[in-house]
Structure 1
């Protein structure tokens, strides 16, 4: 009996390389399918996320009468949540609109847009463009442009400030600087709590600020808030923690330039000089700066 009599009929054996190629093709096909499924899943998740945050009137439920007296039903709780989301969106959207108006105004981005009433010419100012093209009055446009930066900073700090509240601290920004205006809001929050801050309360704080109040524009809002509080409760003079006079700032900047030249560096920020001065003042091994400050303060006391 020959070996052929025991042939089991499996056919020709595949060459090893052919087998490897077949397996590779199968793996590649499977990987491709997995990647396609994963890409589809990610796309669906992104679409769902975008839809969840998409603003729109269709997301606000239509007005209906109460389901009854007393506690809200689960359906009413959900309707109230959607209403709150819509109101909060409006409170945030105003400073987005303000920034857009300010950017358009500063860059005169409307300068190639034909005037709606005088097509032979283009818009020259934001005061012309906003009312006719966007239905925003000149006064409203000015308010939004003046307040958007404050709204943006407050939102970045986690405060849910509404337009009415922000408008009350715009005069502080105009009189001092942006950080000072933020400081007034921080002070109000620290005093009564974030949920009890109102436009009226902010207005009262602003009215209490002394006319000769001095605030350092370089200070952080939290530091300025403590300074303002100290002034209002009588613990500090209106100068607060005395602001650096402009002449002294100019002299410091000039000395910083000389310092940069000696160190063969570019411009040295005033804050860096201040840091080194404080470190030298606190150096217990070398009391030179400490003694110099002590002598100057003694002399200042004699001159009062």
Structure 2
């Protein structure tokens, strides 16, 4: 009876061979599971990439309305896809600019044969962009100069368009990226974020004095306040609050005393200022810092002028 139900596991006298066969089966099963899991992951990644991939084929074709009044579920979905396509163009320009800048900086065009002169490679980004991508030299330069501004504003959730950012490129060239962002922040604060226009930005830039001095490593929010103070006449073009004449005279007198104590000749005001700033920044000796703090507290207690 027992022989009729023999499952064929092999000779009981060969336990090692049987164990080896089971191991091979288990290993094969595990490998197959890994391959299946890898395919599933790859399919999921491909689906995710396809979902976020921009493309004209993702925009619905134009069709007549399904009816009057409220949109159908299908129309609502079509509207959402179209809005995504419209929003994409607002960032596509500085995506192209950043791409061009990356290609230019790394000279990634250097091994591409010239389309019209295959015997040589491209020499400049302008040549590569114009011949290979049909992007004019002026457009190539504009996009490369503008994309950092667009990216910085997008990071702050501002919806700046190419025309607005173009007005800020001269500011970036003269004072740096943070200053360009600061001008936009200033206009957005004064006019309202939804009221910023290229015309308002152009007008603000034109009002900035030619001898304006700004520190590009300063925070854009601080620079915006500085630019506002300069435009309102509350600050000189240097951006530093003007020192009252009486204070200047007092500093000069004290500098004379300082020179006598050091047995030196005349000490320039700039040298005194440097030592004051160094003493103010000294974290191990807070006496100057504390003195400045007390004076600022006293000023805040004074009644404000109307």
Superposed CA RMSD: 3.9
Equivalent pair of 2:59/2:82 in contact (CA under 8 Å): yes
Matched residue, 1:172: 171
Q: Deviations over 1:29-58 (max 9, x none)?
A: 443233222212101110101111222211
Matched residue, 1:264: none
Matched residue, 1:280: 282
User: TM-score of the superposition, structure 2-length normalised?
Assistant: 0.66
Instruction: Please tell me whether residue 50 in structure 1 is matched to residue 52 in structure 2.
Output: no
Structure 2 segments unaligned to the other structure (5+ residues): 243-276, 295-306
Equivalent pair of 2:142/2:166 in contact (CA under 8 Å): yes
User: TM-score of the superposition, structure 1-length normalised?
Assistant: 0.66
Quick one: structure 1 residues 241 and 65, their matched pair in 2 at CA, closer, same or farther if it must change by over 3 Å?
Answer: farther
In 1, the alpha carbon distance for the partners of 2:207 and 2:232 equals 10
Segment drifting more, 135-144 vs 65-74: 65-74
Matched residue, 2:133: 134
How many aligned residue pairs are there?
255
Instruction: Please tell me whether residue 83 in structure 1 is matched to residue 82 in structure 2.
Output: yes
Structure 1 segments unaligned to the other structure (5+ residues): 1-6, 244-274, 295-304
Instruction: Please tell me whether residue 225 in structure 1 is matched to residue 224 in structure 2.
Output: yes
Equivalent pair of 1:146/1:170 in contact (CA under 8 Å): yes
Equivalent pair of 2:279/2:285 in contact (CA under 8 Å): no
Task: Give matches, 1:91-170, under 5 Å.
Answer: 91-105=90-104, 107=107, 109=109, 113-114=113-114, 116=116, 125-170=124-169
Quick one: structure 1 residues 68 and 239, their matched pair in 2 at CA, closer, same or farther if it must change by over 3 Å?
Answer: farther
Deviation of the 1:138 alpha carbon: 2.9
In 1, the alpha carbon distance for the partners of 2:114 and 2:70 equals 56
Task: Give matches, 1:238-277, under 5 Å.
Answer: 238-241=237-240
In 1, the alpha carbon distance for the partners of 2:124 and 2:59 equals 36
Equivalent pair of 2:150/2:165 in contact (CA under 8 Å): yes
Deviation of the 1:172 alpha carbon: 0.8
Matched residue, 2:208: 209
In 1, the alpha carbon distance for the partners of 2:279 and 2:63 equals 67
Equivalent pair of 1:172/1:180 in contact (CA under 8 Å): yes
Matched residue, 1:188: 187
In 2, the alpha carbon distance for the partners of 1:187 and 1:47 equals 43
In 2, the alpha carbon distance for the partners of 1:111 and 1:69 equals 58
Deviation of the 1:111 alpha carbon: 8.2
Deviation of the 1:153 alpha carbon: 3.0
Q: Deviations over 1:97-149 (max 9, x none)?
A: 22343455563836864462x67776555555544443222332232222122
2:222 aligns to what SS in structure 1?
helix
Quick one: structure 1 residues 199 and 89, their matched pair in 2 at CA, closer, same or farther if it must change by over 3 Å?
Answer: same
Quick one: structure 1 residues 123 and 172, their matched pair in 2 at CA, closer, same or farther if it must change by over 3 Å?
Answer: same
Deviation of the 1:95 alpha carbon: 1.9
In 1, the alpha carbon distance for the partners of 2:76 and 2:207 equals 41
Deviation of the 1:94 alpha carbon: 1.5
Equivalent pair of 1:186/1:222 in contact (CA under 8 Å): yes
In 1, the alpha carbon distance for the partners of 2:115 and 2:19 equals 72
Deviation of the 1:178 alpha carbon: 1.2
